[in-house]
A and B are shown apart, each in its own frame.
Chain A
Amino acid sequence: MEVLVTGAASDLGQQVAAALGHEHRVRLLDDREYPVPFGASACRADLLAADEVWGAVRGVQAVVHTAMPPADLPAAGLRREQALLEWYTRGTHVLLQACVDAGVRRCVYLSTLEIFRSYPDDVYISEQWRPLPPVQMEVLGPYLGELVCREFTADYRLGVTVLRLGRLEYEDTADPHERDLMWLDPRDAARACAGALRADLSQEVHSARRWRVLHVCAQIPNAKYLTQRAREIGWAPAHNFATVWGGKGA
Chain B
Amino acid sequence: MAKKKVLLLGAAGLVAPHITAGLERYFELRLADIKPHPDGREQWPVDIGCYEQVLEAARGMDAILNFTVNRSHPVLSFTVNVLGAYHVLKAAVELGITRIVHTGPQMVISAYQHDFDVDDPPPRPGSGYYGVTKFLSNELCRVFARAHNVQIVCFLFNGLHAKPKAPIQGEDFPPFTIVWEDLVEACRLGVEVDAAAIPGGFQVFNLHSHQGHGKYVLDRAERILGFRPLEPVERLYRRPLG
Q: Which residues of A contact B (CB under 8 A)?
A: 50, 78, 81-82, 85-86, 89-90, 93-94, 96-97, 132-135, 140, 143-144, 147-148, 151-152, 154-156
Q: How far is the CA of A155 from the CA of B143 in the complex (A)?
A: 26
Complex contacts, B189 vs chain A, CB 8 Å: none
- Chain B residues within an 8 Å CB radius of A50: 74
A-contact bits for B49-82, CB 8 A (1 contact / 0 none): 0010000000000000000000000110011001
Instruction: Please give me the residue from chain B that is nearest to A144 by CB atom.
Output: B136
Question: Known contacts A93-B129, A140-B143; can you find 9 more A-B pairs with CB under 8 A?
Answer: A89-B78, A93-B127, A94-B74, A96-B127, A134-B143, A147-B135, A148-B127, A151-B126, A151-B131
Q: Is the pair B127, A133 in contact by a Cβ cutoff of 8 Å?
A: no
Residues of A contacting B140 in the complex (Cβ-Cβ under 8 angstroms) = 140, 144
Within 8 A of A (CB), among B133-188: 133, 135-136, 139-140, 143-144, 146-148
A-B contact count (CB 8 A): 65
Residues in A whose Cβ lies below 8 Å from that of B74: 50, 90, 94
How far is A15 from B125 in the complex, measured between Cα atoms in Å? Answer: 35
How distant is the Cα of A44 from the Cα of B124 in the complex, in angstroms? 34
B216 at the interface (CB under 8 A from A): no
Q: Which residues on the A side are within 8 Å of B144 (C-beta)? A: 135
Chain B residues with Cβ under 8 A from A143's Cβ?
Answer: 139
CA distance A224 to B51 in the complex (A): 39
Checking B83, B86, B127, B133 against A154 with a beta-carbon cut-off of 8 angstroms, the contacting residue is: B127
Considering the chains assembled together, what is the distance between the CA atoms of A156 and B132 in angstroms?
Answer: 14
15 A-B pairs, CB-CB below 8 angstroms? A85-B82, A86-B78, A86-B79, A90-B74, A96-B127, A132-B146, A135-B147, A140-B140, A147-B132, A147-B139, A148-B127, A151-B124, A152-B127, A154-B124, A155-B127
- Complex Cα distance, B134 from A148, in Å, reads 11
Collect the chain B residues with CB atoms within 8 Å of residue A155's CB: 126-128
Q: Within the assembled complex, what's the spacing in Å between the Cα atoms of A70 and B143? A: 24
Residue-wise, chain B 73-114 has the 8 Å CB interface mask toward A (1 for contact) of 011001100110010001000000000000000000000000
**Is the pair A89, B82 in contact by a Cβ cutoff of 8 Å?**
yes
B78 is contacted by which of A81, A93, A147 (Cβ under 8 Å)? A93
